[in-house]
Amino acid sequence: MSRSWIASLSAMLLLPATAFAGDLRQDANAIFSPVTAVAAQALVKGNDITAAKVELGKKLFFDPRVSRSQAISCNSCHNLGTGGVDAGPTSLGHAWARGGRRAPTVLNAVFNASQFWDGRSPDLHAQAKGPVQADVEMNNTPAVVEQLIKTTGYAAEFQKAFPGDSNPGTFDNFAKAIEAFEATLITPNSKFDKFLLGDASALNDKETKGLRLFIDKGCAACHSGVNLGGNSFHTFGAVAKPSAEILPVADKGRHKVTGAAGDEYAFRVAPLRNVALRSPYFHSASVWTLEEAVDVMAKSQLGATLTPEENGAIVAFLGALTGDQPKVDYPVLPPRTKDAPRP
């Protein structure tokens, strides 16, 4: 998303409500889009989404043997049963280490313009390689992952998923398979999606009021697009810095990636799809209720104080962003041989 588009949208949202006239659904469709499988797969570049590749990626996503300890899988931190995240504030990694930030949700992650809170990976393909090699997460190496592929039933599955490749069992193809699977982890058919697609009764009165406030108060200046976020970076505390518990001083966000002074304490805007399922909130995992999170954002980003009624309406609207959760059968993983890597 270009900075000029964001600036134009921000200026539009600062106009009085009368200037943003018209049908609420029409206004919403100008800012947001519904979740669809077609839209998701169109965003995957250089990696054809095939049934064989998706099935392989699913097994790899659930396989703890891709970690050095052989105890941690992708699903350990991105649990598909709890909104695509784990249930605690920060994830447990190798040797019981904890990461410094809340795990982002894997659900609808394909719609994000970049991955991780600081945007250091441009897509799911690049992102899939990071946790495997991170010391605080899986603490493994590409060579060990490739050895696992060669010494289990995965070898045949990689050949099937990448039939034109003379050497299919590579770490790069490992990441492509996971990307293909994760591109299917979308949550369509939320009440909000049905509203966008023409069902005027999909949202109740409180949710409708919340949507109107979400637009008019300026929340949608950053939380826009299909994922209601995930497509831009903004300074946390643009108007008023929250407490050090919510915004730890040592974590300067995107600044660590770019080195630019203007990126200090800037983070990728959190996607809000299914947000009601995945407390605690923010990169610091410091807030446990949506009510508090909404108040923090209003004060720190907009310089606004919401009434209890306004807060409740926006929270109700956020609840209407929960879509159909992906139904994924737990896979049976290919057996190892005596030569497979061991911890």
Per-residue confidence of the chain (343 residues) as pLDDT tens digits?
333 333 444 444 444 433 333 499 999 999 999 999 999 999 999 999 999 999 999 999 999 999 999 999 999 999 999 999 998 888 888 878 888 899 999 999 999 999 999 999 999 999 999 999 999 999 999 999 999 999 999 999 999 999 989 999 999 999 999 999 999 999 999 999 999 999 999 999 999 999 999 999 999 999 999 999 999 999 999 999 999 999 999 999 999 999 999 999 999 999 999 999 999 999 999 999 999 999 999 999 999 999 999 999 999 999 999 999 999 999 999 998 767 777 7
Please indicate whether the domains covering 3-30+189-319 and 39-182 agree at the CATH topology level.
Answer: yes
**Dihedral angle over CA of 102, 258, 221, 237, nearest 10:** 60
Contact criterion met (CB below 8 Å) for 115 and 254: no
Q: What are the tokens at 105?
A: 């949700």
Which of 33, 22, 12 lies closest to 190 in space, CA to CA? 33
Give the whole-angstrom CA distance, residue 337 versus residue 33: 47
| Domain 3-30+189-319 falls under CATH 1.10.760.10 | yes
Q: In CATH, which superfamily holds the domain spanning 39-182?
A: Cytochrome c-like domain (1.10.760.10)
C-alpha count within 13 angstroms, C-beta hemisphere, residue 217? 24
Domain extent listing, the chain: 3-30+189-319, 39-182
Give the whole-angstrom CA distance, residue 210 versus residue 111: 23
- What is the amino acid identity at position 178? I
Give the whole-angstrom CA distance, residue 84 versus residue 78: 5
Contact criterion met (CB below 8 Å) for 264 and 253: yes
CA distances from 330 to 6, 24, 56, 80, 194 (A): 41, 41, 13, 10, 29
Candidates 137, 179, 182, 310; catalytic one: 137
Contact criterion met (CB below 8 Å) for 287 and 296: yes
Known catalytic residue: 137? Answer: yes
